Amino acid sequence: MFLQMMYDMNSGIIVILAAFILGVIARSRVNSTFNRYSRVRNGLGLTGAGVARSILDNYGLANIGIEQVQGKLTDHYDPRSGTLRLSSSVYGSDSVAAIGIAAHEAGHAVQHAMGYSPLKFRTALIPVANLGSRMLFPLLIGGFFFRITNMIYIGIALYGVALLFQLVTLPVEFNASARAVNWLEKERGFPPSDVAGVKKVLTAAALTYVASALAAIGQMLWLVLAGRRR
């Protein structure tokens, strides 16, 4: 029984460790791929901000503003203010990496405007997912310390929502990248070499989300097995 318990719990830890290693590799690959294609100018000479503006206007989203923010790879779309924020290394750059990142973030704005279902679902999960991430360990510690099994189960249930958030994030991010590649290749006619570079940049970025999802799955597995043995 003890050996089986250790085997089950170690299975979750192994998944978490594997996801951590994948995450380190993914972040390293993102940086190296971004740096590589930051030195390659795109064939049409458009900047990241210019590409984002073209995509937004093409979908009738002239009301969405584009702002420059500090930092590296801090690009994001803020649905609350209706603002697309691009990092300084993307906003005014005409590199292949810049147009890929900008098009991807513009894809999120398009998703929001079109009511893309996975994005709406993910947004609805945010409050509970944040609560689950914050309360997991206090509930677990309290449950084990005071021997209140229900506290442990509540913590696991809340973390389950956080895990669901991570899983739903995957199709949201993949769809935004697909929209970006499709627009650059078919709507705007960027050279094949540019599109190939954009795909490599966005694929590297996607690995970070896969690693996060695997880490969440591993932690949930560990929690469930620990709770069951409790």
Catalytic residues, by residue number, are 105
Compute φ and ψ for 55, nearest 5 degrees: -65, -45
What one-character-per-residue DSSP string does 184-228 give? IIIIS---HHHHHHHHHHHHHHHHHHHHHHHHHHHHHHHHHHHHH
Adjacency order of strands within the sheet including 76-78: 65-69, 83-87, 76-78
Q: Where are the beta strands (DSSP E) in the chain?
A: 65-69, 76-78, 83-87
Rounded distance, CA 80 to CA 78, Å?
A: 6
Q: What are phi and psi of 67, to 5 degrees?
A: -120, 155
* Distance in angstroms (rounded) separating the CA atoms of residues 221 and 212: 14
Burial class (CB in 10 A: 0-12, 13-18, 19+), 75: buried
Do residues 112 and 190 touch, judged by C-beta distance below 8 A?
no
